[in-house]
């Protein structure tokens, strides 16, 4: 229980600490001016793109569920997805479990298989992140290199840090080997294998594995890949459209939006906080400095972009939570499973 509380407190502490560090010394009047002077037409287009992004993600998830034999509608899938988006803004990592739990309540799709389908999506997203990194290095190699030097330069010059890193890696490998040996020994012990809890865990594992392997049974793999790529194009376009909403950033190239998407995605994996609070502001403000903005301007623009994206996501997620009880009352009798 205490460990769970600590795991929830740490991201909050990181978010608050990073926000305080980044926003320290930034006048609130300058932040307010950034929002006040933004072109409402571009803001509206950004909102439409965010809606499109969530619909594409819902359609992609729908394909993986169909591969498992379930046929929830796009609307129901989107509502569950948005419910998960709200949860992930409160507790990092809770979004996947929440959206699968929501779809179980509204359509009767087993939680374990829903989670398995989400795990498969995450694997594809990791591969797409690799593609984004490759594109960023190809198109913005000099800026990407400078960014890493500015961010990590002091650490890279310290031999002690390299030594400590090697020590931690070695300890991590050793711990992994010991854990694997322990699991192997427990799995071969008859009393452990026949225990009801072991059987339950194995059953859940098989269900998750079935969901993960369901991606191999996709009826339209080309469509799945297309939806994935297009969703990344849309979410990257949101950043570029928000550039156009402000005179301060209207001249920035599309590659700046690509770099921000890549860096913020990596930051979300490395330092997960609620909705990217703090992490996004710190990393993206440093990216914007590579494109000619000074530090205060970078912080203001990063705060603006993040606030608009989070604001639209919260609005859509809030609406989805209001719809969930209605969907539960009209739950399909077939529980969404193909006959």
- pTM as predicted: 0.79
The tens-digit pLDDT sequence of the chain (339 residues) is 566 666 667 777 777 888 888 888 888 899 999 999 999 999 999 999 999 999 999 999 999 898 888 999 999 999 999 999 988 888 877 888 999 999 999 999 998 888 878 877 887 888 899 899 999 988 888 887 777 777 665 544 444 444 444 554 555 556 666 666 655 555 666 666 666 556 655 655 655 555 456 566 778 888 998 999 999 999 999 999 999 999 999 999 999 999 999 999 988 887 778 888 889 999 999 999 999 999 999 999 999 999 999 999 999 999 999 999 999 998 876 555 554
Nearest to 268 by CA among 257, 254, 278, 259: 278
CB atoms within 10 A of CB 40: 8
CB count in 10 Å sphere of residue 274: 20
Question: What letter does residue 109 receive in the DSSP assignment?
Answer: -
């Amino acid at each position: 229980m205490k460990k769970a509380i600590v795991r929830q407190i740490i991201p909050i502490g990181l978010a608050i600490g990073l926000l305080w560090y980044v926003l320290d010394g930034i006048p609130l009047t300058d932040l307010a001016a950034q929002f006040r002077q933004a072109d409402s037409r571009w803001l509206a287009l950004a909102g439409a793109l965010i809606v499109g992004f969530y619909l594409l993600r819902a359609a992609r998830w729908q394909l993986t569920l169909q591969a498992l034999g379930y046929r929830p509608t796009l609307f129901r899938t989107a509502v569950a997805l948005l419910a998960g988006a709200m949860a992930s803004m409160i507790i990092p990592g809770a979004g996947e479990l929440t959206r699968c739990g929501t779809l179980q309540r509204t359509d009767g799709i087993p939680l374990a298989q829903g989670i398995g389908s989400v795990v498969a999506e995450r694997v594809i997203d990791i591969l797409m992140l690799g593609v984004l990194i490759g594109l960023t290095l190809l198109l913005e190699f000099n800026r990407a290199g400078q960014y890493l030097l500015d961010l990590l330069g002091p650490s890279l010059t310290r031999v002690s840090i390299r030594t400590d890193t090697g020590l931690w890696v070695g300890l991590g490998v050793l711990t992994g080997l010991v854990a694997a040996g322990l699991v192997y020994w427990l799995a071969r012990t008859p009393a452990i294998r026949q225990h009801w809890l072991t059987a339950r865990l194995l059953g859940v594992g098989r269900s998750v594995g079935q969901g993960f392997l369901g991606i191999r049974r996709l009826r339209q793999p080309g469509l799945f890949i297309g939806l994935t790529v297009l969703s990344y194009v849309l979410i990257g376009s949101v950043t570029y459209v928000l550039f156009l909403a402000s005179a301060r950033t209207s001249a920035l190239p599309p590659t700046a939006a690509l770099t921000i998407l890549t860096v913020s995605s990596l930051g979300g994996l490395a330092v997960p906080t609620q909705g990217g609070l703090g992490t996004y502001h710190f990393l993206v403000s440093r990216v914007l400095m590579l494109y000619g903005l000074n530090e205060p301007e970078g912080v203001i623009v990063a705060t603006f972009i993040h606030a608009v994206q989070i604001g639209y996501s919260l609005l859509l997620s809030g609406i989805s939570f209001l719809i969930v009880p209605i969907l539960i009352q009209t739950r399909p009798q077939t529980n969404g499973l193909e006959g």
